[in-house]
A and B are shown apart, each in its own frame.
Chain A
Amino acid sequence: MDYAYTLIILLLPLVTFLGLGLLSKRLPVALAGIIGTANLFIIAALSCATAFTYFTQEAGEAGFEAIEAYKITWLPLTDKLIIHLGILLDPLSVMMLVVITLVSAMVHLYSIGYMKGEKGYTRYFAFLSLFTFSMLGLVVATNIFQMYIFWELVGVSSYLLIGFYYQKPSAVAASKKAFIVTRFADLGFLVGILILSFNTGTFEFQTLTSLQGPVIGQASTAAFMGLSVTTWALLLIFMGGAGKSAMFPLHIWLPDAMEGPTPVSALIHAATMVVAGVYLVARLFPAYALSAPDALTVIMYVGSFTSLFAAVIACTQLDIKRVLAFSTLSQIGYMMVALGVSGYGGEAGLGYMASLFHLFTHAFFKALLFLGAGSVIHAVHSNLMTEMGGLRKSMPVTHLTFLVACLTIAGIPPLSGFFSKDEILVAAFEHNKLIFAVQWLVAGITAFYMFRLYFRIFWNQTPAYHHAPHESPVVMTVPLMFLAIASVVAGFVPFHDLVTSDNKPFETAFHWSIAGPSIAIAVIGILTAAWLYARPSLRPDAISKSLSGVYTAAYNKFYIDEIYLFITKSIIFQFISRPVAWFDRHIVDGTMNFIGNSTVAGSAAIKRMQSGHVQLYIWYFASGVLVLALLILYLN
């Protein structure tokens, strides 16, 4: 099969971005949304077709072959170290293509309704296309350097979209925060890339993950502070991934990023960009699993801690988008845990498969949750759950689809979230009992806070709305329904036959011993939430009062933001920035001013040379010739 046509998938969003960006003032406003959405449907169809052909035709004896559908040489740095640009198709990237284009298409369609009448409508769609292009470029990258380029492009487009309402100071602050925090993490990524490529002489994923390659087969023995150089490099690369995927302690930007338009949150901060860290680790997984198991252990603990930490905070938040943001953190934590507990090859790679399976299902149900929340916000013009309630009658489609999503994330069978979470728990159980216990507990907390959200929005007391809330238009409800269906059926995709750590299918068994308790704790969570929030009652307040210290700490996100501010303002600004600023102002600027002033003085001193008298000109000419000749004769 020739997959060169996949280049269209990559380039069409870029063309859309350039077209919408350059022609923004000439196009009729309504057309921008239609063009953007139509393009996304085309590439979504192409991606699905690619996935279908790939998974049906490329299965060989040794599992799925990785195919380089397109490749050009970009920068030949040395004979060995060459940077290519290309498209790599393997089960992982093909799966990501489907997820990104499907969710993006739905978000585009939804945005036509959600963003209607907003100032900057065309700009919004242009940025969405730019994001889609960057994200697709990231997942099909053939080498880590290309990935890094698109990684940064993704960061830029995320920045642009978070700050979409640039008149709002909070949106500007949030976009700046997101950019700076992820850039800081990317510093680690870049250093990791440099170490890795310096030691291996390659950027190519195929070589880096090859079992006979320079990372795994001929690993260097150099070590630094007790860990091998490879481990350090992979840990630093994970730092970049942790930044994008908002792992503790680099998670602080994600809740603030909810300042962007809600469909953006659905696409970027739930389904696609934030899982880039998971994707990155999965992409280099053989290297992690076989030559840096210590790094995987770190990933496991970071993921597990983040998932618990974020789940606790999610229980206390009142802004519905922030609840979803913390839930995203928690779910990505699950994916990281799954990678952390996984081994390489066959059934040992169960965690790897489970992680990507969860990535796949999470993309659909989390996008659905965000779009549902957007629909609610659209109707009641507020983000706060205290100003919502009783919406199940006025918004039936939103209500039902939201319920499906909540059941899915809570892990109720036979919805997709149940299957993927179950695989993660099985993998964790086999690897580390403590981690299993934590993740099992988090499953219960998840069910609790999701249904807290659900009951507060759709049941409970109906507040006095300014005008009666009504169901959203069809362009917004159709994506909701599509994603609801996807959330239901995604669990039946036979992932263990398709996306595995060594690209070979393996058998998985169903364990009631694990599924049973996990269903039980989910049901307990749901019932607790119903008991507390289904009707107006004083119980929630009583509980939060009795837990006052813990509650306040969780409500304030455990003061992580304040700690960062203390470190930057009181320590870095005070003791590093100030002296540097003094040096800059007095020494550096002083030198520059001196050069500038002496240049001007020199200029004034020689102005009489240009007198306008030809005889003087000739005199200068003749003297110049003589001096030059003498100098050269002398120096020769």
Chain B
Amino acid sequence: MTWTDVYILRNEVLLTLLVLYHLIVDLTEGKDNGRLVNGTLFGFGLVTAVGFYPVETTSLFGQMFLSDPLRNTLKLILNISTFIILLQSASWLRKPENQPKTGAFYMLIFSTLMGMSFMISAGNFLMLYLGLETATLPLTLLAAFDKKLRRSAEAGIKLLMSSAVSSAVLLMGLSLLYGSYGTLYFSEMASLTDAQALSVFGLVLFVAGFGFKLSLVPFHLWTADVYEGSPLPVTMYFSVVSKGAALFTLMLVLYNVFTLYPKSWTLAAYLLSVTTMVVGNLFALRQKNLKRFLAFSSITQAGFMMLGFVNNDNLGMTTVVYFMMIYSLSNLAVFGVLSMVFNATGKENIEDFNGFYLTNPRLSLIMLLALFSLAGIPPVAGFFGKFFLFTAAAAKGLYILVFIAVINATISLYYYLLVVKAMFINKSEAPVATLTSTWQEKLAFTICLVGIAAIGFVSGVYDYIASLI
């Protein structure tokens, strides 16, 4: 391996180094983890910053590992999201009961992020599967991170069992694909046009495996239990980074490998989009617990993401990436407020937010903007994200789908506004006390808010993504 290769592998190498560092430091670190937390934030901040340096289109290990500006940007989006999560989890890690596990937490987070990075850069289905498993196993451990809590342990076990099934289905799909093509390399498969029942079935199994990660209905049933049971930073990670990595990988494979017979996968996207939006909405409507609520909201949002996939042109890819970026920032802002409240009071129900505006006006406004962005209300970025997705679907003439999506967007508005109503209108005998945020939280909120406010208006962002594809 030359230095050039290391530069191409920079994200994976740096993440591996971080994992190794935390494995060692976990043995030596004393009681107080303040330096470790801040040091890790600084170190990972640097790793994230490295992603801003441009890369060229190239490959390693005989097409096993691909690197190009698009993949680099996708990894960068995941890194930034992870960085925000680490910022927001700092005060949770500083709690006495979590202090001894800090190193383990970071080690697991960086391992799964590294796996996702490999998954995105994969140029071969075997590589992709290795990345996927590297990402999944630490995730189950993270879900069970509050090991003394019953619901956390339950979340870990449920995730482990269901992801085992989904991996099996995925592997089955890959075997069928290998059986019909005789190769697992993306570049070779892309030129094969033969769409027989066998390969289409393999493709469906593959989509289902990733549908599990993305929590598309009907592969979503683990989502609510795991989101609710996991510690909040892990839930954030599931709903944004893990989902983002799955989305990006699925997108890269479908658009680059199955280019020549898009009909089957755009059809799958159509069907999954409808079921996911509808079922996600119907469940989100009845939730009282904010974590569960956000779980179903994130399912609905995944349904919207599928709208982009019905368009097999570059437009579809651009809108999906653009939407995911906005969704990440909005969701992280909501979770950030929730995690501050939860850390201080242990409350996580919607009704606990009654009268929140009177005691915490700034946090309420942040939450308001973020919820508006999730609901897609102009002029915040979420509106533009949804608008472009609808455009992508409409460009293919699928007006019925767009109509269904618009109705679902309206329904989702209802339950997002329920939270807003709780904060601003409902009265409470004992509202949450006024909270003070740490610098980490302030920085995280700033990044999210700038994104939510600006991405929609700065047309350069969309144009940049379009230029990569």
Contact = CB atoms under 8 A, between A and B. Distances in A.
Interface stretch (B107-115, B162-170, B391-399): B162-170
B424 interface: no
A631 B414 CA distance: 32
A274 B339 CA distance: 54
Interface stretch (B97-105, B279-287, B342-350, B429-437): B279-287
B267 A624 contact: no
Interface in B214-272: 217-219, 221-222, 224-225, 263-264, 267-268, 271-272
Contacts of B212: 621
Given A612-B225, A618-B165, A624 B219 contact: yes
Contacts of A628: 204, 207-208, 268, 271-272
A323 B267 CA distance: 72
Interface in B401-445: 407, 411, 414
Nearest to A625: B208
Contact of B221 (A604, A607, A610): A610
Contacts of A609: 221, 279
Interface string B112-128: 00000000000000000
Given A614-B161, A617-B222, A628-B268, A603 B285 contact: yes
Nearest to B205: A625
A595 B281 CA distance: 13
A602 interface: yes
Nearest to A635: B267
A547 interface: no
Contacts of B279: 606, 609
Contact of A617 (B162, B205, B411): B162
Contact of B219 (A616, A621, A629): A621
A434 interface: no
A633 interface: yes
A613 to B, nearest CB: 9
A625 B202 CA distance: 11
A631 B204 CA distance: 10
Given A631-B271, A632-B204, A633-B201, A606 B282 contact: yes
A635 B263 CA distance: 10
Interface string A401-444: 00000000000000000000000000000000000000000000
Contact of B162 (A600, A607, A618, A629): A618
Nearest to A628: B204
A618 B219 CA distance: 8
A625 B272 contact: no
B195 A636 contact: yes
A623 interface: yes
Given A614-B158, A628-B268, A632-B267, A600 B285 contact: yes
A559 interface: no
B200 interface: yes
Contacts of A537: none
Contacts of A633: 197, 200-201
A98 B44 CA distance: 57
A625 B200 contact: no
A629 B285 contact: no
Contacts of B282: 599, 602-603, 606
A625 B283 CA distance: 21
Nearest to B165: A618
A625 B204 CA distance: 7
Contacts of B157: 614
A620 interface: yes
A191 B148 CA distance: 69
B208 A607 contact: no
B221 A617 contact: yes
Interface string A93-105: 0000000000000
A414 B285 CA distance: 77
B218 A623 contact: yes
A632 B264 contact: yes
A542 B221 CA distance: 91
Interface string B139-170: 00000000000000000011001100110010
B411 A614 contact: no
Contacts of A596: 414
B200 A624 contact: no
A625 B166 CA distance: 10
Contacts of A603: 282-283, 285-286
A268 to B, nearest CB: 28
Contacts of B272: 628
Closest 8 CB pairs of A and B: A624-B218, A617-B221, A603-B282, A629-B204, A625-B208, A603-B285, A620-B218, A614-B161
11 contacts: A606-B282, A610-B221, A612-B225, A617-B221, A618-B165, A620-B221, A621-B165, A621-B212, A628-B208, A629-B204, A632-B268
Given A629-B204, A632-B200, 16 more contacts: A599-B281, A599-B282, A603-B282, A606-B279, A614-B158, A617-B222, A618-B162, A621-B212, A621-B221, A624-B217, A625-B208, A628-B268, A633-B200, A633-B201, A635-B267, A636-B267
